[in-house]
Structure 1
Amino acid sequence: MNTVATLNPQARRNLGVLFTAGLLFWSSLASLLPTLPPYIKSIGAADDLLGVVMGSFAVGLLIVRPSLGRMADTRGRKGVLLLGISVAAIAPVCHLLTQSIPVLILVRMFHGVSIAAFTTAYSSLVVDLAPPHKRGELIGYMSLVNPIGMAVGPAMGGFLQAWQGFAPVFFLASGIGMMSLVCASQVTPPPLQPQPPIEQHGDQRFWRLLLSDRIRIPTMTMLLVGIAFGAIATFVPLYIAEAQVNLNAGLFYTAAAITSFATRFLAGKASDRYGRGRFITLGLLCYGVSMLVLWQARTAQGFLIAGLIEGIGGGTFLPIMIALVADRCQPHERGRIFGLFIGGFDLGIAIAGPLLGSVAKSIGYRGLYGVASGVAFAALLIFITLSSKSVSHSVKFALGYGKDPYAIPRDSPITQVG
C-alpha cells in the first residue's frame, strides 16, 4: 500500500471515495446472487427460462456498452459512473413490482445498465489516476471492491432471505445502492484527454477497435470466461439445493471472495514486475479447475473448495487482464476500449443463461459444470496460443518469458523474466 501513500492528496482522496462507492455498489449487486434464482423459480420459471431471465441482465449490458464507452471518453467518467450506480439503486425494488416473466426480463435488462456504466467508468478512472509503472498494483488494490462486496453481499442476502423472505433483500440492495451514489458524487475526476479527429462512420471505428490484434484475443478470452462465470452466478444456488447439500449458497460466493481478495493483493503488484501473461494463464487454469471440482462436488466441503479455487481464478485473471488492456490503449480511447473488452465478458454471461439453462434441463446441473469446465479450458488454450504475434511468442508471453508487443511504451517498462 506504499504506492497509495506516494500519490498526491487529491488522487488519494479520489481513490478512497471511489473505493468506498465501488464496495457499496458490488455489495448491492452481490446481495441478490443467492436470492434471484430461487425468486425467479418461485414465480414459475423453469430452468431454461430461468437462464433467459438471468441472462437478460447481460443483454442490457451489451446494448449500452458501446455508447457508454464513448460517453466516458467524450463527456467524462463521473457522469457514467453516477448513471450506473443510480440504476443499481432503482432496479432491485423493481423486481418486486411484477410476477410476469416478460416484464421481469425487462427489469433485468435495465439492471444490466448499472454494471455496464459502472465498470467502464470505474476502470477508466482508476487507470487515469494510476502511475503507469504501478498500474497493475493499483488496479489490483482498487479491484478489491469486487471480492469484498462479493463476500459481504451474498452472506447478507442469503441470511436475510432465510430470515425474512425475498422482499427485504431487494430493499437492502436498493438502500446500499443509494449509499454508493452519495459516495460517488464526491469524486473529482481528472481532466479529460483531448480527443483526436474521429472517423465519420462510428460503426467502422467500432469494428476496427474490436478486430484489432491488441483487443481481439483479450475480448474473446473474456467472452469464454463470462460463460463460465455465468454458470457460477446463475446455477450454483440451484445446484446446491438439487444436490441436497446443507450449505447456504451465499457462503459459496463468500469463499470465492475471500481467495479473490487475497490474490489481488499479490497478483497486481507482481504483474508490474514480472509481466501480465503468467498471471492471466494462472487465473484461467484456476477457472477450469474450479468447474471440474464443481462437476464432482457432492458435499459442502466440495462446493466450498470449488468456490475458493474460482476466487483465485477471478482475483488473478480479471484485474490483470484489465491491466493488460490498459497497457495497450491510449488515454483518450480507454472508455471505448474497456467498453468493448468488458463487453466480451457481458456477452459470455448473456450466452451462459439460456445456453447452460438448456444444458441443465437436458443433463442436470452436474453435467452443466462439466461443459463449463471445457469452456474455461478453451479460454486457456486460446490465450496461450494466440495472445501475441505468433504461437511461439504467445506461449512465451503466456508463461511469463516474453514481452507484450502490443503494449504502448512508457517511461518505466515492465521488468520481464528471461
Structure 2
Amino acid sequence: MERLWTQNFVRMMIANLLLFTSFYFLTPTLPLFVSEMGASASQVGIVIGIFTLSAVVIRPFIGGLLDRVGRRSFVLIGLLVFGLTMYLYNWTAAIGALIALRIFHGLSWAVSTTAIGTAVTDIIPPRRRGEGMGWFGLSMTVGMALGPMFGLIVLDNSSFHLLFLVTTGLGLAAFVLALLTKMPFARQKTGGKIVLFEKSVLPMMVLGFLLAVTYGGITSFFPLFAEEIHVNAGTFFIVYAITLTLTRPIAGKLSDRFGELVVLIPTVSLIVCSLIVLSLAHGTGGVVATAILYGLGFGSAQPILQSAMIRVAPADRKGVANASFFTALDLGIGLGTIILGYVSQLFGYRVLFAVCTVFGIAGLLFTLFLVKKQRSKLQSPA
C-alpha cells in the first residue's frame, strides 16, 4: 500500500492546523475588539462580513493560477502575508483602517487555504484519498474547535496585544513548515483563459454550502445561547474537538472502502439530529450531546465532500475545484451568519437553530438525490 504518512504530508497537516487555529482565535474575540474601538453594531457586522466577501472574490482566480503555475509560491506567499497581517491588528486604531486590513486579511486567507488544500491533494496517494483527506481535514476542524477556546483563554488572562502576537506566531510557524515541504506539481497545459469555476464539483458545492450555513450558525451564536442557558461555551468546543480527533479518520477510511455517498448519508443525518437536540437543549447534557453528534456529522462530511470533489474534477483543474468548493463554504458561513443574525434578533436562538435544522434537512434530501443521480460517478476508481 502506498505511504500516506510522509514528512511532506505531516508538515502540511500541521501547517494547516496552525493556520486554522490562528484564524479561529478571532471568531469570538474580534467582535469584542471592534466593539472596544467604539464601533456600532452595523460596523461590527461590516468588519466581520467584509473578510468573507474579499475571500469569495479572489478564490476563483487563485484556483485557476494554481493549475497554471503550481502550488508552492501561493502557499508560501499566502501564509507569510497572513501572519504579518495578524500582527497589524495591533496597530489598527480606526474602523476604516480595520476594514481595509480585513479585506487584505481575507485575500491572504483565500490564497493560503486554497493553495494548501490543493497542494495536499498532490501529496496524498490516490488510493488513500478519503483516508488522507480525513486526516488532513482533521487539522482544519480541530483548528476551528480549539481556536475559539484558546482565543478566549488568552484574552481572559491577558490582552488583545498578546492575542495578536500569538496568532502572528502561529501563522509564521505555518509558513516555516510549508517552506520545508516538497510540493509535487505536474505542470498542465497553459493555453486559453484561466478557468474560474469547475462545474463538475457543483453537487459538492451545493451540499457544502447548506452544511456551512449550519456551521456558521453554531459557531457564531452558540456562545451567546450558552450564556442564555447558563452553560460554559468552552464545554462544547472541547467535546467537539475530542469527537473529531477520535472519529474523523475512520470516516475517511470508510469512504475509501464504500464510496463517499454511502458515508455521507449517515453523517448528514447526524448533523440534522445534532441541530434538533441543540434547539431543545436546556443544560450541559444537551450541549454535550450536540457537540458529539455535530462532531461526528460535520467533522466527517467536510473531508468526504472534498475527497469526492477531487475524485470527479479533471486532473488539471484541482486548483479550480478546491477554489470553487471553498467559495461555497465561505458563502454558506458568511451569508448564513447574516441571515441567522436577523432570525435570532426577531425570534431568539432556539428558532435560529431550528432554521439551521431546515438547512440540514435540505442537505440530507440533496444527498439522497445525489445517491440516485451521481453514485456511479462519485464511486468510480481514481
TM-score relative to the length of structure 2: 0.90
SS in 1 for 2:180: coil
Match of 2:156 among 145, 154, 162: 162
- Distance in 2 of aligned mates of 1:287 and 1:356: 17
Mapping 1:50-89, distance limit 5 Å:
50-89=44-83
Work out whether residues 146 and 237 of structure 2, in 8 Å CA contact, stay in contact via their aligned partners in 1: no
Q: How many residues align?
A: 382
- Distance in 2 of aligned mates of 1:44 and 1:349: 26
**Structure 1 match to 2:217:** 231
Deviation at residue 43 of structure 1 after TM alignment = 4.1
CA change 1:308–1:52 in 2 (3 A) is farther
**Structure 1 match to 2:123:** 129
Deviation at residue 364 of structure 1 after TM alignment = 2.3
**Structure 2 match to 1:222:** 208
Structure 1 position 405 matched with structure 2 position 377? yes
- Distance in 1 of aligned mates of 2:196 and 2:120: 23
Match of 1:375 among 337, 347, 359: 359
Match of 2:292 among 289, 300, 308: 308
Match of 1:324 among 301, 304, 308: 308
**Structure 2 match to 1:334:** 318
- Distance in 1 of aligned mates of 2:9 and 2:124: 10
Work out whether residues 74 and 192 of structure 1, in 8 Å CA contact, stay in contact via their aligned partners in 2: no
Identity between Structure 1 and Structure 2 (%): 29
Deviation at residue 338 of structure 1 after TM alignment = 1.0
Structure 1 position 273 matched with structure 2 position 257? yes
**Structure 1 match to 2:269:** 285
CA change 1:177–1:219 in 2 (3 A) is same
**Structure 1 match to 2:3:** 7
Deviation at residue 326 of structure 1 after TM alignment = 0.8
Match of 1:27 among 11, 21, 29: 21
SS in 2 for 1:192: coil
Task: Compare 169-178 and 28-37 and name the one that shifted more.
Answer: 28-37
Q: CA RMSD in A?
A: 2.5
Task: Compare 131-140 and 300-309 and name the one that shifted more.
Answer: 300-309
Deviation at residue 325 of structure 1 after TM alignment = 0.7
2:3 maps to a residue whose letter is: L
CA change 1:236–1:304 in 2 (3 A) is same
**Structure 2 match to 1:188:** 182
Deviation at residue 293 of structure 1 after TM alignment = 2.3
Deviation at residue 100 of structure 1 after TM alignment = 4.3
CA deviations over 1:121-148 (Å, ceiling 9, x no partner): 2222222122222111111122221233
**Structure 2 match to 1:413:** none
**Structure 2 match to 1:93:** 87
Work out whether residues 139 and 323 of structure 1, in 8 Å CA contact, stay in contact via their aligned partners in 2: yes
2:226 maps to a residue whose letter is: I
- Structure 1 gaps of 5+ residues are 398-402, 411-418
CA change 1:300–1:409 in 2 (3 A) is closer
**Structure 2 match to 1:364:** 348
CA change 1:231–1:51 in 2 (3 A) is farther
- Distance in 2 of aligned mates of 1:357 and 1:51: 10
1:117 maps to a residue whose letter is: V
Deviation at residue 70 of structure 1 after TM alignment = 1.3
Structure with the bigger percentage of helix: 2
Task: Compare 320-329 and 116-125 and name the one that shifted more.
Answer: 116-125
**Structure 2 match to 1:416:** none
Work out whether residues 151 and 257 of structure 1, in 8 Å CA contact, stay in contact via their aligned partners in 2: yes
- Distance in 2 of aligned mates of 1:151 and 1:354: 21
SS in 1 for 2:348: helix
Task: Compare 104-113 and 223-232 and name the one that shifted more.
Answer: 104-113
- Distance in 2 of aligned mates of 1:322 and 1:308: 22
2:84 maps to a residue whose letter is: I
- Structure 2 gaps of 5+ residues are none
CA change 1:314–1:107 in 2 (3 A) is farther
TM-score relative to the length of structure 1: 0.83
Deviation at residue 184 of structure 1 after TM alignment = 0.9
